[in-house]
Amino acid sequence: MSQTAHIPSHRKPRRAAASTRALRTGVTGGFLTLAVAGAAAPALAAEPAAAETTLEMPTLGSTLASTAAQSAEATHQAASDYQLQAQQDQAAAKAKTAAKKAKVEADRKAQEAKEAARKAAARRAAQEKAERASRTAERTTLSTATSNATSTATKATGNAATLINFLKAQLGKAYVLGSSGPSSYDCSGLTQAAFNQIGISLPRVSQDQSSQGTAVSLDNLQPGDLLYWGGRGSAYHVGVYIGDGKFIGAQNPSTGIVERPLSYDPPTGAVRLL
C-alpha cells in the first residue's frame, strides 16, 4: 500500500448554504402578488416549505382614470343642470314679465271700455230725455189742436165734407207705391185723388204737394188741411186732417189706407188748400 493512499475524511460535511430564496411578483386581477420560494438541503427537509404571500394592492392607474371620468361626468352633468335651470328661470321671468304687462294692458282696456260704456249710457240717457220732452211737447200741441178742431169737425161742409167722405170710402184699400187708385194708392196718390174730387189739382209727389197752399200751425188745424211729414217742400209723406184730432192716409204696405189719431204719427206741419 502506498503511503500516499487516500484516507477518507471524517469531517462532517458542511451544511448547505442557507436556503436560497427567490422572490416572484405578479399582478393578478388588479392585485400585486409576492411569492417567496426557497430550496432546502435534504437535511433540512423538515423545515417548513417555502411560503407564498399575496399582497392586495390597487392598480392606481385604472382607479385614477375611473375616478377622473366619473368626476368629469358629474361636472358635465352639473353644468348641464345649471344651464337648464338658468334657462328655465329666465323663461319663467320673461313669462312673468309678459303676464304682468298683459294684465296691465287688459286692465287699461277694461277701464277704457268701462268709461266708453259710461259715456255712451249718458249720451243715450240724454237723448232719450230729449226725445221724451219732444214727444211730450208734440202731444201737448196735438192735444191743443184737437181741442180747437173738435168744435169745427162737425161743421165740415161743402168741399171739406166731400173730400173727407171720399177718403173714408178708401179706408182698407192697399198701399202700393206709385199707385193712384182706384183699388190701391200710395200716400200722395191718395191725396191727389181726394183733392181732385173737389176740383183742386195737386202735384203727384209729396215734396211738391207740401209746398202748395198756405202754411198753418198744428194747433189751428181744420178738416181738409193737408198734413206733411218732413220739411215743407221736401216732405216724404202726406195725409189729410179730417177733424176730431184724426187723419186719413195711405201709411205703408203693411197697414194700407187707415184712419189714425194725430198722436199715432205726429206730422211735421200742415198747409191749407180750401
266 inside domain: yes
Q: Please check the confidence at residue 5 and state whether its pLDDT lies above 90.
A: no
CA torsion through residues 212, 213, 216, 221, sign: negative
The CA distance from 29 to 19, in Å, is 31
Answer left, alpha or beta for residue 179, where phi above 0 means left and psi between -120 and 50 means alpha: beta
Q: Please check the confidence at residue 60 and state whether its pLDDT lies above 90.
A: no
Domain with residue 155: its CATH number is: 3.90.1720.10
Residue type at position 217? S
Give this prediction's pTM: 0.46
Considering its fold, how many domains does the chain have in total? 1
51 inside domain: no
Q: Could you tell me the three cell numbers for 204?
A: 203727384
Q: Could you tell me the three cell numbers for 80?
A: 348641464
36 inside domain: no
The residue ranges of DSSP E strands in 85-200, in sequence order, are 174-175, 184-185
**Angle between helix 159-169 and helix 187-196 axes, rounded to 10 deg:** 140
Contacts of 32 (CB under 8 A, 6+ apart): 25, 26, 55, 56, 57
Q: Among 84-98, 152-166, 211-225, whose mean pLDDT is lowest? A: 152-166
The CA distance from 21 to 39, in Å, is 7
Strand partners, 24: 35
Band of pLDDT at residue 38, cut at 50, 70 and 90: very low
Domain containing 94 equals: 86-274
- Counting residues of the chain whose pLDDT is more than 90, the rounded percentage is 42
121 inside domain: yes
49 inside domain: no
